[in-house]
Amino acid sequence: MDASLREVNIQIGKKSYFLKTTLDDESLKGISSLSAEITKEFSGSLDQENLLLLSCLQLAWILEKLGRKLEKSLIELKDEETL
């Protein structure tokens, strides 16, 4: 096992998963918080597989929105530079 890898436990929905990662504690905490926030939206009668699927789709949607905002900001910045 590589010295930089370590085993961590991450809770997603109703289950805990053991992973090997090089992420630091602060990054893991951020990821765990985001995961908890997203899965909380779907809590209830969903099984784990559907919970994971909806969480992935929600993350994809968040990334899509951020990408659009970033692209818009870059265009606005370029427009300001040409003035």
Tens-place pLDDT, residues 28-58 = 999 999 999 999 888 787 899 999 999 999 9
Instruction: Print the domain residue range for 21.
Output: 6-81
Q: Which two tokens stand for residue 31?
A: 């990821």
Is the confidence at residue 73, as pLDDT, over 80?
A: yes
The answer to whether residue 56 sits within a structural domain is yes
Per the structure, the count of domains in the chain is 1
Torsion of Cα atoms, 42 then 45 then 47 then 51, to 10°: 0
Structural Rg of the chain based on CA atoms: 18
Q: Which of 71, 32, 22 is nearest to 55 (CA)?
A: 32
The answer to whether residue 1 sits within a structural domain is no
The answer to whether residue 36 sits within a structural domain is yes
